[in-house]
Structure 1
Amino acid sequence: MSSNPRRALVVIDVQNEYVTGELPIEFPPVETSLENIARAIDGARAAGVPVVVVQHFAPAGAPIFARGSVGAELHSVVASRERDHYVEKALASAFAGTDLAQWLAARDINTITVAGYMTHNCDASTVFEAAHAGLQVEFLHDATGSLPYANDAGFASAEEIHHVFSVVMQSNFAAVVTTDAWLAAVKAGMPLSRDNIYASNQRARAKAAA
């Protein structure tokens, strides 16, 4: 873990589709995550932390995120705020087919902070790719969110999905924290810690045995 984090806040896919469109975020409540996304952006800008805004597009006529549709537009919480870089993507990870890695490297950024949607899809894909590339990663679990799924593998609520992905990310890939904790770390210029697989498993086994 870097003792001198050079951060960028990466705000992923905060688009109308997740608020008033076909994929409404359910947990945490979207009003909560939107408020914290706004606080994170404002805090980052006040501290000189660059803000990257990511926007997902599907081809025109697609059922979700169709280019030119209202659902694909950035939500006003993000659209109304200044940014330092803009990334357009068509795949889950904000790194896939974009210039994000090069932009970060050119600025000697070693830590990315992920906010936005969805926890279990574009956020997780971005977190995993960043960690594998050697970046330190932070995940704002109250400035992100999930929705429920039902398919041939079963059913999972939005809360279950968000909780499990947050625990897994903290175990190996990212420091999972609240927006308040992140803002305090930014102000102090301090890193945030992720856990490790072994310790996470040992605690779970001890809890189950208690």
Structure 2
Amino acid sequence: MTASMKRALIVIDVQNEYVTGHLRIEYPAVELSLSHIGQAMDAARAAGIPIVVVQNSAPSGSPIFAHGSEGWALHPVVAGRPADHYVEKTLPSAFAGTDLESWLREQGIDTLTVVGYMTHNCVDSTVKQALHAGFAVEVLDDATGSVPYSNRAGLVSAEMIHRTFMVVLQSRFANVMETATWLAALAGQPLPERESIYASNQHALQMRARMA
């Protein structure tokens, strides 16, 4: 990692709702992503990288994330580790209606490493708003996760949702990598590069041509 980068680790909505509640993460397996989230938090603390914990809240009586409920509570993987800043939100993006951006500016942060849940909702929304606000963004793809959906538009598995969003984020919005790669970068190894929309499309066309 370059000396000019000043990072913060953004830990989004690692709450019981996603582990033992009504929205259990299915892909990657929640036990795996929780382990990687803990590893990232420990490494960030050791490296002096500020940690921001984000918690989603819904009104009392809501079927999920009702404020004060067991599902709303932070999972022990996060609750049992120290953080430098806490953000409570009611919308998908951790920036929406919170003090997150102002706090990051005060700390001189220019790069965000994002972990947590869910890949396609709060992680995606936070990443895109961060990019639009001028931050560089990294996403640890095995420290996030998705659930399956079925609605009027169709049926999609958790794996398909997660993989699709990771490919899209890597094409423009974030530098997507595994937790092990990020940990190695903290130890001095080079980071992989974020790709581009054009390059991602060209790679897909080339792969399709080879398979024809």
For 1:190 and 1:93, the matched residues in 2 are separated by 29
For 2:16 and 2:157, the matched residues in 1 are separated by 21
The answer to whether structure 1 residue 137 and structure 2 residue 137 are counterparts is yes
Q: Which residue does 2:103 correspond to in 1?
A: 103
For 1:198 and 1:28, the matched residues in 2 are separated by 28
Q: Deviations over 1:95-118 (max 9, x none)?
A: 000000001111111000000000
In 2 relative to 1, CA 170–112 (structure 1 residues): closer, same or farther, beyond 3 Å? same
Name the SS for the 1:185 alignment partner: helix
Q: Deviations over 1:37-69 (max 9, x none)?
A: 000000000000000000000000000000111
The answer (yes or no) to whether the contact 1:52–1:83 under 8 Å persists in 2 is yes
The answer (yes or no) to whether the contact 1:36–1:143 under 8 Å persists in 2 is yes
Name the SS for the 2:187 alignment partner: helix
Name the SS for the 1:115 alignment partner: strand
In 2 relative to 1, CA 124–202 (structure 1 residues): closer, same or farther, beyond 3 Å? same
CA RMSD of aligned residues (A): 1.4
For 2:189 and 2:53, the matched residues in 1 are separated by 22
The residue type paired with residue 4 of structure 1 is S
Identity %: 60
Tell me by how many angstroms 1:121 deviates: 0.0
The answer to whether structure 1 residue 82 and structure 2 residue 85 are counterparts is no
Name the SS for the 1:143 alignment partner: strand
Q: Deviations over 1:111-151 (max 9, x none)?
A: 00000000000000000000111110000000000000000
Given the two structures, how large is their TM-score scaled by the length of structure 2? 0.96
Alignment of 1:14-163 (within 5 A): 14-163=14-163
The answer to whether structure 1 residue 174 and structure 2 residue 174 are counterparts is yes
For 1:155 and 1:110, the matched residues in 2 are separated by 38
In 2 relative to 1, CA 3–48 (structure 1 residues): closer, same or farther, beyond 3 Å? closer
Tell me by how many angstroms 1:3 deviates: 6.7
Q: Deviations over 1:72-102 (max 9, x none)?
A: 0000000000000000000000000000000
In 2 relative to 1, CA 47–189 (structure 1 residues): closer, same or farther, beyond 3 Å? farther
Give 5+ residue unaligned stretches, structure 2.
none
The answer (yes or no) to whether the contact 1:8–1:113 under 8 Å persists in 2 is yes
Name the SS for the 1:188 alignment partner: coil
Given the two structures, how large is their TM-score scaled by the length of structure 1? 0.97
Task: Give aligned pairs, total.
Answer: 210
For 2:89 and 2:174, the matched residues in 1 are separated by 22
Give 5+ residue unaligned stretches, structure 1.
none
For 2:146 and 2:7, the matched residues in 1 are separated by 25
The answer (yes or no) to whether the contact 2:181–2:191 under 8 Å persists in 1 is no
